[in-house]
Amino acid sequence: MSTASIRIDPEAVVAPIDRRIFGSFVEHLGRCVYDGIYEPGHPQADENGFRKDVTALVKELGATTIRYPGGNFVSGYRWEDGVGPRESRPVRRDLAWHALETNQIGLNEFASWLQEIGSELMLAVNLGTRGILEALDLLEYANHPSGTALSDLRAAHGYPEPWDIRMWCLGNEMDGPWQTGYMTADDYGKLAARTAQAMKAAQKDLELVVCGSSGSSMPTFGEWERTVLEHAYDYVDFVSCHAYYQEFDGDLDSFLASALDMRYFIETVVTTADAVGHRRKTDKKIMLSFDEWNIWYLKEHQESDEVNETWPIAPRQLEDVYSVADAVVFGSLLMTLLEHHDRVRSASLAQLVNVIAPIMTEPGGDAWRQTTFFPFSVTSRLAQGRVLKPRVEAGTVTSKKYGEASAVDAVATDGDEGSAVFLVNRSREAVDVTIDVSGVGRAAVAEAVTLWDDDVYAKNTIDDQERVGLKPLDARLDGGTLRVRLEPVSWSAIALR
């Protein structure tokens, strides 16, 4: 059995926790909205058609912000289609996912649902097929109190109070040739700058997210961010990052080391943004919004016929079923976002229900938790106060794709109500870990859980919805030393009080 030692230093502060790091994402894609969160004919539908069992799971998940309505979908979206009397709303073709959009759910219904679950709305504007005027119209409709044409229209639609949306995305993945209306970095940067300037003229306290690269593998990665920010730096607050991971060809070790790629992505974007800021001689720092991240079986999706020449309504698309190994990597990615929380101030797990999601549903039937549900819900619940970067001494695991990775990684948080330590064991053997927590001055273990299984590919399915779940973790606090045994390929969390 291997060993590792960790020291929690209360002075090694990364940043105070911004709760928006625990955000998620809802796109009009597949069964995320229709037959997901919204199913009027379901036995557990509320008076507005939203599934109460799904709402309860979303609350348990702890998603603090929800990015909406896309994603690729937004680049062809007309927001006006989703407001007003439902019987008058048009059915449109969604070119992004080759499906029909009924527009039965739009801004007002979705924002009302978010109020019920206690999450903040992060709204995306269409800069693929639309532009500045449409973005300003949407801003007026959503946020202006009253007395203008569009704010009064919102009131006439039954929503007299403004939604007060603070965080806005300026389009989505505009570097991607799959995106309707995609552009060069120069063209997009100019449009984003003009749109941002106009939106802040209308409401100066908005926080605006400019599109970064769709992934670190894009041929323009780095140069895209530089060019866009040369135009938009003065008007925006965040640059977006998107990253998805999966296991390829049975290479579990490389998959378990995926967080190394996420670190490279974050550090490259930070360096690029800061270089632009330095040239502009400004103290302003651009933050990162990692507003799409997850495990996604993208290769299998691309090889399937999920998107074809038919035009279905709410088809089954991207309904990945996640394993223990997926959840362990997922947990390590969330830890990586926390490790870089000084610059990654917002993040959105993509997506929320059915579509590469922690929550699955069956039409007319059950809703259940995927394996990835557990690291997110526990971390969102236990993390508070400020993020601390522990010192970790452990062996390494060799991966073909990313080289040497620490067998054990950790991140910690510390606040008025207690401290928490989050750990991942990437190795194929158990590791005995000693953690020096004397600096945070906690006297007892309040909670200790782990996610692992003898079968790293075990999953929760519709027929076996509780096959995988959290297990008790034997964590013993002796003075200022915490002792714990991490099982092979596992993610764990310990709360101290």
Distance in angstroms (rounded) separating the CA atoms of residues 356 and 295: 7
Map tokens 């074809």 to a residue.
308
Alpha helices in 34-145 (DSSP H): 52-61, 107-117, 132-143
List 27, 109, 225, 292, catalytic entry: 292
What is the token pair recorded at 420?
A: 């928490």
Closest CA to 67 of 290, 317, 230, 374: 290
Identify the helix (H) or strand (E) that includes residue 124. Answer: strand 120-125
Task: Enumerate residues 6+ apart whose C-beta is below 8 A from 76.
Answer: 92, 94, 95, 96, 126, 128, 129, 180, 181
Beta strands at 391-393 and 2-7: parallel, antiparallel or unpaired:
antiparallel
Q: Are 94 and 100 in contact (CB under 8 A)?
A: yes
Report helix, strand or coil for 342: coil
Distance in angstroms (rounded) separating the CA atoms of residues 281 and 188: 23
Distance in angstroms (rounded) separating the CA atoms of residues 351 and 357: 5
Q: Are 102 and 157 in contact (CB under 8 A)?
A: no
Q: How many CB atoms lie within 10 A of CB 253?
A: 18
Which amino acid does the sequence have at 18?
D
Give bridge partners of residue 426 from the DSSP assignment: none
List 173, 207, 447, 487, catalytic entry: 173
Distance in angstroms (rounded) separating the CA atoms of residues 388 and 9: 7
Cα angle value 213/218/224 (rounded, 5°): 45
What is the token pair recorded at 59?
A: 């609350």
Cα angle value 377/380/382 (rounded, 5°): 100
Q: 286-300 burial string, b = 16+ CB within 10 Å, else e?
A: bbbbbbbbbbbbeee
Which amino acid does the sequence have at 27?
E
Q: Is residue 173 annotated as a catalytic residue, yes or no?
A: yes
Cis peptide before 158 (omega within 30 of 0): no
Report helix, strand or coil for 485: strand
Query: For the chain, what is the radius of gyration of the CA atoms?
Result: 22
Distance in angstroms (rounded) separating the CA atoms of residues 144 and 288: 27
Q: What is the separation of C-alpha 117 from the centre of its chain, rounded to a whole number of angstroms?
A: 17
Reported for 91-94, long-range contacts at CB under 8 A and 24+ positions apart, including other chains, are 93/311, 94/28
**Is residue 57 classed exposed, middle or buried when 0-12, 13-18 and 19+ CB atoms within 10 A define those classes?**
buried
Catalytic positions, written as ranges: 173, 292
